[in-house]
Amino acid sequence: MNLEAIRIELEEEQTWRQNEIRFLRNQLAGISGYNRKKQYRKSLVVMLYSHYEGFCKFAMESYFKVVNQEGVRCEDATAAIVAGSWHAVFSAVESGDKKERIFKRPLPSGDALHRLARRREFVESLPDFRATTARMPDDTVDTESNLWPIVLQKNLYRLGLQHDAFSSHDSTIRKLLNRRNDIAHGAQRDGLKSDIYLELERAVFRIMDDFMALILDSLKNTEYKKKRAANGPTTHN
C-alpha cells in the first residue's frame, strides 16, 4: 500500500472541490443588492451539498478499493470486511441462488427445504469461504441520494470504520440537507443570509478534513485486519 499516494489522491479531490466552492462564493462580490446576494446563496447551498456528498463517497470508495487491492484473506479480515465481501453469499443463502454461482449442490424440492439446504451448505463450505480473498463489491457505498447522518453511519459501519466519527456534525448536516431539499423542492423561496451559509460551508470543509484523516489513519493502522495479540489469540472485530 502506498499511503502517500492515497493521501495525495484524497488531497487533490478535496482541493478541487473546495476551490470550486470558494470560486462560486467569490462571485458574490460581483452581485449588487442584498436580496440578490441572498438568492444567489441558494445555488451555493445546492453545490455545497453536492461536494459534501461527492467527497464523502469518494473517500469511502477509496478506502474499500485499497482494502480490495490488499488481497486480505477473509480469515484475516475484520467481520465488517468479511460481511461486505460475502454479500452475494448471504443473498444466495437468504433468497436463493438461481444461477448456482455460489452453491452448486442440487437442492431438495420445496422452498422451505431449499432454505435449510442452503444454510447447511453454507456451514459446510465455511472453511472454503474463509480461505477466499476479501473483496467488497463496487456498490458497497450507497449515499441514497441524501447523505443524512444515519446514511453516513450505515456506510461507515459497513466498511468497518468508526460509524459515529462525525456525530458532532450531525446537526449541521441535517441543516444542510434540509436547506438543499427545501430549495430543490421549491419550499424555500427566500435567500440565505451570509452567516447561515458560511456556517454550512465551514462545517463541510471540516468534514472533508476529518474524513481524510479517518481514512488515512484507518489504512495506516490496517483497521480492516483482525488484531492479533502478541503470542495470543486473534481479536475479532
Q: Would residue 235 count as lying in a domain? A: no
Domain final residue, candidates 106, 134, 162 = 134
Same domain, 7 and 57: yes
Q: Would residue 55 count as lying in a domain? A: yes
pLDDT-based confidence at residue 109 (cuts at 50, 70, 90): low
99 or 178, which is more confident: 178
Same domain, 144 and 59: yes
Identity at 101, one-letter amino acid code: R
Domain final residue, candidates 110, 134, 158 = 134
Classified as helix, coil or strand, 31 is coil
Which residue carries 446514511 as its cell? 151
Q: Would residue 190 count as lying in a domain? A: yes
Same domain, 81 and 114: yes
Stretch 182-186: mean pLDDT, rounded? 83
Q: What are the contacts of 163-168 at 24+ separation with CB within 8 A?
A: 165/210, 165/214, 166/207, 166/210, 166/211
Rounded Cα gap, residues 119 and 97, in angstroms: 12
> Using one digit for the tens of pLDDT, what is the confidence trace for 67-80?
999 999 999 999 99
Same domain, 221 and 151: yes
> Using one digit for the tens of pLDDT, what is the confidence trace for 120-136?
888 888 898 899 999 99
Q: Is the pLDDT at 224 greater than 60, yes or no? A: yes
- Global pTM reads 0.87
Same domain, 24 and 94: no
Same domain, 98 and 153: no
Contact 226, 235 (CB under 8 A): yes
Same domain, 80 and 184: no
Identify the pLDDT of residue 184.
82
Stretch 174-193: mean pLDDT, rounded? 86
Q: Would residue 80 count as lying in a domain? A: yes
Q: Would residue 107 count as lying in a domain? A: yes
Domain hosting residue 34, numbered range: 1-71+137-227
Rounded Cα gap, residues 93 and 89, in angstroms: 6
Identify the pLDDT of residue 114.
72
Same domain, 25 and 126: no
Contact 155, 60 (CB under 8 A): yes
How many domains does the chain fold into? 2
Q: Would residue 2 count as lying in a domain? A: yes
Rounded Cα gap, residues 170 and 164, in angstroms: 10
Which residue carries 453516513 as its cell? 152
| Cβ neighbours around 81 below 10 Å, total | 27
Rounded Cα gap, residues 154 and 150, in angstroms: 6
Same domain, 64 and 149: yes
Query: Which of 87, 169, 98 shows the shortest CA–CA distance to 129?
Result: 87
Q: Would residue 237 count as lying in a domain? A: no
Identity at 26, one-letter amino acid code: N
Same domain, 77 and 89: yes
Same domain, 211 and 144: yes
Q: Would residue 222 count as lying in a domain? A: yes
Same domain, 169 and 58: yes
Domain final residue, candidates 112, 134, 156 = 134
